[in-house]
Structure 1
Amino acid sequence: MTTNQILIVALISLIIFILPAFGLYKLFQKAGTPGWKGLIPLYNTWVMLEIAQRPKHWFFWQLIPVAGWFVTMGIFIEFIKCFGKFSFWEHALTCLVPFLYFPYVAMDQKTRFIGPQGVKHYQKSTVREWVDAGIFAIVAATLIRTFIFEAYTIPTGSMEKTLLINDFLFVSKLSYGPRIPNTPLSIPFMHHTIPGTSSRSYSELVKLPYSRWFESPVKRNDVVVFNFPTGDTVINRPEFQSQDPYYDFARRIGSGDINKGRQAVLSDPETYPLVIRPVDKRENYIKRCVAIGGDTLEVRDGRVYIDGKPGFIPPHSQIFYEVETNGQPLNAEVMKEEYNVDIENPDEIFSISGNKYGMLLTAEAVDKMKSSGLAKSITPQLIRPDQVDPRLWGTICFPYDTIHKWTVDSFGPIWIPKKGATLTITPENYSIYERAIRVYEGNTLERQNNKFVINGQETDKYTFKMDYYWMMGDNRHLSQDSRFWGFVPEDHVVGEAWIIWMSINKGIRWNRLFRSIK
């Protein structure tokens, strides 16, 4: 854990264990127990369990990181019941501000110790039972969702055939360490918007800096869920959001000039209402991490290379091919079972002319077509720089300038920023790293006649504060990924895609249930 994370844990522990002790001194005395025992952090919870005659193993459950804090709150509640405090609001105050509520109860002359026997005579109403159960369920589910795992649904085909539309996943928060929410004040189970409205489901009254407990780095080839890096600004209408990202839209209506496009959007707020979102409230994306901080990535002829060596090819990744068949009619069942191609899906197959088709195929399907004789020829449909109209440079791929003539199949080489590594900024690489330095790491950055000013100081050196990752979809020709919006900072990482627990397409896809994700 970092120093910052340790300080946060220490602060929370201070609030939970130490501050309530001042009120516990007199409460322990009223319970017939020496008051000094209430002044000893952690030990005082053992004594509370003795006073309330509750199971002693609760004491040890407190020691579990994060979840244990809520066990401590449960001990506080069992203890305060022994003083005749049974209402919902009394228990809420016990959990939220025990350092204020305990002294208040202790100083109240009406407070009487009724002991565990008195607690047994109290009966909750049916409504209260349901309210308590509901609150417990919400708190428990929120803790699990925040710190352990979260359910996620695949909305698009960018990861096919590794992941299919309407695959339901569990995403592990433990793989890279639980990330503390930047905006902890939010409505449970709502990401950023209240359903059926355009209103935010969170408040920025309390904003926490980036912190991740028990941090572990993302590894190459992991399938990762992360917050959309350029989703900080969105046009808050259903047809926009992440489907048509703000920066892409501004660049498009500005005919490649993003500043011109921005002005057009800002001048018409009724048509284009903008919303600024904190990191943890940006849309969730899922892609494969193909390169990590310190790597040099290049895409040549559609193939990924890392530091000059061929990268991992996901077993179900696919690209477009032009396929000339042997002239026999295509059988839907055979195409699906043997080659994993749905002939009813125009995204997977379309006619070019005669017996020539455009097909979205995996490497395995290509080999099968060749060996079976179905295909007379198979040619990858790649986009090379010499095939692109020069007037389109600066509008095709990240970093959207006229220097880097890159396409989705011919990209890089590009260096991925690494925490602690120092970059020499040049006019050639400025557009590549400008957003990372300025937006993701919170600096001011200006370019003045090919000189650079960072936080008011002229310099051409910058040392990165975070690790960055390069994410790509396994469906290489139908994926909005790092080739279009660049690096993913470590503070945007949500978790690792772990297991498919349900999959639906006109019924349950039984063969996909409980399949691990590779």
Structure 2
Amino acid sequence: MLTTLPKPETKARKTKTPFREWFDSIVFAVVAATLIRWLFFSAFVIPTPSMENSLLVGDYLFVSRLHYGTTTPVTPLQVPLTHQTIWGTSIPSYLDWIKLPQYRLPGFTDVKNGDVVVFYLPVEHPDMYQKYSNVLPDLHPHPTDLRSNYIKRCVGIPGDKLEVRLGQVYVNGQVQAAPVRMQNEYFVSVKTAVNEENVFHKNGIVDYAQFTETFGDSIAANDEAGYVVKTTDALAEKLKTYDFVKRVQPVWMEKGLKEPFLFPASDAADWNKDNYGPITVPKAGMTVPLTEVNIALYGDIIRNFDGNENVVVEKNKITIGGKQLTNYTFKQDYYFMMGDNRHDSADSRYWGFVPKDHIVGKAVFVWMSIDPNPTSFLKKIRWDRVFRMI
């Protein structure tokens, strides 16, 4: 006689509550966004005019971390999708109780001359930020991977001999092509009063000021009226065509005129932002004698970024572990960065070299651009800059 066996009892599948589904979705989105932001690319916004007119205040960028290879986190105890502080507050978003060694994953290219690069600001090192407060007054110490993100153009790669002569960059003795939209300072001498809206604003010139004696007598005669403007070479040439313009002259600091707060802080270097160097950008394996000038140039990176301990830097000597060095061999590569707005950029000319372990990624394209001071609501978005390659 056949009998039917009872079916095994099955537990009913528990249905997730709406709150649980919402919570799981949020966790998944945060984890995915964190991984993408760390491994592939990050979004940044331009807050200052130091890269004008190549990049404008209000440009939103995608920065590729894949180009140079992404770096592993140094400070793992931080709130996801934050940087330095929790959104909208001054509360730190991290704890530095744990610090991990940094590694760089393989990339598919190296930083090249002319690349627009995002990097961590090295002078936010705890032993350096006070020294450079005159140049960057809002500096605060942070761990390596949580220092402020800066964006500049790389003008010197490891091993390059770099010099600036009247605003023109020379690398290894060869003149370097200026970026297409690079901005310089000009004196525009005028015969009559100027309609600033029609002349400057319509040409995209937003940084200008009427000439006064505070600019010095080297660019104009005492009875000459005009403006000091920051603009591109192409727009400077266009200004020359106006019938009320007498002349347009570049404004340069004279060679030998020492500029305060310039890097390095040494009486042996009478440099300024327009006439700078020559200097050699450190390269891993390169050895330099520790002269007074070289100590001023390389002392900070030997002490803070090259993996040394017990380093004492003085004006005329460097000691490591109590032993005085006569020369030094660098352990990692460094870079020299400059903004495209050459007279309004706090860059390597003022605070020195960028270590390779501070490189974040390569700026690829502008995905949105919002004018912070539009002439009308309809002009709030700069449509001509959307999806512009860098």
Q: How does 1:31-42 map to 2 (within 5 A)?
A: none
Give the secondary-structure state (helix, strand or coil) at the position aligned to 1:230. helix
Task: Indicate whether 1:477 and 2:343 are aligned.
Answer: yes
Deviation string, structure 1 residues 94-118 (Cα, Å, up to 9, x no partner): xxxxxxxxxxxxxxxxxxxxxxxx7
Q: Report the alpha carbon displacement of residue 454 of structure 1 after superposing the two structures with TM.
A: 2.6
In structure 1, list runs of 5 or more residues that go unmatched: 1-117, 236-244, 254-271
- 2:247 aligns with 377
Deviation string, structure 1 residues 454-501 (Cα, Å, up to 9, x no partner): 344333222212111111000000001001000000111111111111
Q: Report the alpha carbon displacement of residue 318 of structure 1 after superposing the two structures with TM.
A: 1.1
Measured at CA, do residues 427 and 381 of structure 1 come closer, stay the same or move farther in structure 2, by a change above 3 Å? same
Measured at CA, do residues 129 and 454 of structure 1 come closer, stay the same or move farther in structure 2, by a change above 3 Å? same
Task: Indicate whether 1:419 and 2:284 are aligned.
Answer: yes
Q: Distance in 2 between matches of 1:400 and 1:129?
A: 59
User: Which structure dedicates a bigger proportion of its chain to helix?
Assistant: 1
Task: Indicate whether 1:511 and 2:381 are aligned.
Answer: no
Measured at CA, do residues 308 and 371 of structure 1 come closer, stay the same or move farther in structure 2, by a change above 3 Å? farther
Measured at CA, do residues 361 and 279 of structure 1 come closer, stay the same or move farther in structure 2, by a change above 3 Å? same
- 2:97 aligns with 205
Query: In the alignment, is the contact (CA less than 8 A) between 2:119 and 2:149 conserved in 1?
Result: yes
Q: Distance in 1 between matches of 2:11 and 2:291?
A: 72
Structure 1 range deviating more: 311-320 or 450-459: 450-459
Q: 1:248 aligns with which of 111, 129, 132?
A: 132
Measured at CA, do residues 478 and 119 of structure 1 come closer, stay the same or move farther in structure 2, by a change above 3 Å? farther
- TM-score, L = length of structure 1: 0.65
Q: Distance in 1 between matches of 2:156 and 2:102?
A: 22
Q: Report the alpha carbon displacement of residue 247 of structure 1 after superposing the two structures with TM.
A: 2.5
Q: How does 1:30-109 map to 2 (within 5 A)?
A: none
In structure 2, list runs of 5 or more residues that go unmatched: 1-9, 213-222, 375-379
Q: Distance in 2 between matches of 1:293 and 1:159?
A: 22
Q: Report the alpha carbon displacement of residue 279 of structure 1 after superposing the two structures with TM.
A: 0.7
Measured at CA, do residues 331 and 404 of structure 1 come closer, stay the same or move farther in structure 2, by a change above 3 Å? closer
Deviation string, structure 1 residues 205-245 (Cα, Å, up to 9, x no partner): 3211121101442111111111111012499xxxxxxxxx6
Which residue identity is paired with 2:130? Answer: Y
- TM-score, L = length of structure 2: 0.85
- 2:220 aligns with none
Larger Rg, first or second structure (1 or 2) = 1
Query: Number of residue pairs matched?
Result: 363
Q: Report the alpha carbon displacement of residue 422 of structure 1 after superposing the two structures with TM.
A: 1.7
- 2:219 aligns with none
Task: Indicate whether 1:181 and 2:73 are aligned.
Answer: yes
Give the secondary-structure state (helix, strand or coil) at the position aligned to 1:324. strand
Which residue identity is paired with 2:388? Answer: R
Q: Distance in 2 between matches of 1:331 and 1:304?
A: 32
The CA RMSD measured in Å over matched residues stands at 2.7
- 1:403 aligns with 268
Which residue identity is paired with 1:515? Answer: R
Give the secondary-structure state (helix, strand or coil) at the position aligned to 2:240. helix
Percent of aligned pairs with the same residue?
42
- 1:460 aligns with 326
Measured at CA, do residues 469 and 479 of structure 1 come closer, stay the same or move farther in structure 2, by a change above 3 Å? same
Q: Distance in 1 between matches of 2:226 and 2:123?
A: 39
Which residue identity is paired with 2:351? Answer: W
Task: Indicate whether 1:432 and 2:297 are aligned.
Answer: yes
Q: Distance in 2 between matches of 1:119 and 1:204?
A: 47
Q: Distance in 2 between matches of 1:430 and 1:468?
A: 16
- 1:93 aligns with none
Deviation string, structure 1 residues 302-326 (Cα, Å, up to 9, x no partner): 1111111111201111111111135
